[in-house]
Amino acid sequence: MAQGVLKVLKSVLGSLALASVLAISAGAATATTVTLKFEGPSADPAGSVKIAKAPVTPAATHVGAYGFRMTDVTSPESVLGSFIAWCLDIEHRLAGTGKPVEYTITSIPFTNSYGLDPEQRKRVQSVFDANYDPELVTDKNKAAGFQVALWDALYDKDFLASDGDFKVTGATEILTQANKYLASAKDYSGARLWNLTFLQSNEPQKVYQNLVTASPVPVPAAAWLMLLALGGLAAVGRRRGTI
């Protein structure tokens, strides 16, 4: 039992440490410009779908759907490090692999394309809170389904990717996964679990896709005390087990 508690404690503390770093970085970078490079899709092989209907004109109808592996190469110091981002903009294309592009971290997404009003932002938030797990990014169907769910949350209000003002067609597995995520988001009434950081393309000559990334909401101080207590109990149990 003590080993199990220690394992859980180690996992939780690791996640909290990562969340704290991202939260501090995002806070320090508010209203600042960062330089990001796309390193490739999060899933290999990556998923793709066809955008059959949308309230805006998409840059392409057949599109890749996956998380973006991004690296912050801002000089003289990286702000966000390496992270996974998601697309909230089908009107523009993502810059090519390895191309440095300027983005602004913004709390008012987005002024250069289809923006997020309060209801749209709430739907996007619910897709993350009801479904997001950092491990889904490497699974083709889960990553593609999650990206499609985010598009539907932005461009439609029916929580259904297979119909409505925003509609995609393509792999049945991807569409099924997207609708599963959307159904969970529609019924979600829990706490906010993920802090969202919005990234707006800031290139003067060309607009690239606007993005969003997420970090876990930090655990309150009371929970830290509980975790420390659990750690102490686990340590005591381990010592007793060695006697």
Domain ranges across the chain:
2-242
DSSP state of 95: P
Residue 17 CB coordination number (10 Å): 10
Maximum distance among all Cα pairs of the chain, rounded to whole angstroms: 70
Reading the chain (243 residues) residue by residue, the pLDDT tens digits are 444 444 444 444 444 444 544 544 444 444 689 999 999 999 999 999 999 999 999 999 999 999 999 999 999 999 999 999 999 999 999 999 999 999 999 998 999 999 899 999 999 999 999 999 999 999 999 999 999 999 999 999 999 999 999 999 989 999 999 999 999 999 999 999 999 999 999 988 899 999 999 999 997 654 445 545 555 544 545 555 443
Look at residue 231 in the predicted model and tell me its pLDDT.
55
Look at residue 203 in the predicted model and tell me its pLDDT.
86
Q: What is the model's pTM? A: 0.81
Contacts of 18 (CB under 8 A, 6+ apart): 215, 216
Q: Where are the beta strands (DSSP E) in 123-193?
A: 167-170
